[in-house]
Amino acid sequence: MPQTELTERELQCLYYTACGLREREIAQLLGISPHTTRVHMVNAKKRLGARNKTHSVMMALLTGKLDLQVIRKDKHFISHQG
């Protein structure tokens, strides 16, 4: 069984991915490099036993680590910025 405890950064990267942001946008928002964003996503994928980024987000949603209602609200807010 995969390890499902995620770090705060892994959760943040998954969350912003679920909101539709790209790696470089997440990196800029969190003040980290795109490479570091990728590392967090790869680690989250491994911990969740997921096959790819989309599957990682789905696993985080299914295990209650991400809240779809919050993502929907924030996705709407983020899409109207800029």
| Tens-digit pLDDT profile for residues 2-19 | 666 999 999 999 999 998
Residue 3 belongs to a domain: no
Max Cα separation, the chain?
A: 42
CB burial string 46-65: b at 16+ within 10 A, e below: ebbebeebeebbebbeeeeb
Q: What is the pTM of this model?
A: 0.84
Residue 2 belongs to a domain: no
Q: What is the pLDDT of residue 11?
A: 95
Domain CATH number, residue 65: 1.10.10.10
Domains in the chain: how many in total? Answer: 1
> Reduced to 3 DSSP states, what percent helix, strand and coil does the chain have, rounded to the nearest 5?
70, 0, 30
Residue 44 belongs to a domain: yes
pLDDT tens digits for 37-77? 999 999 999 999 999 999 999 999 999 999 888 777 766 55
Name the 3-class secondary structure at 31.
coil
Residue 23 belongs to a domain: yes
Average pLDDT, the chain: 89
Reported as a pLDDT band with limits 50, 70 and 90, residue 81 is low
Residue 16 belongs to a domain: yes
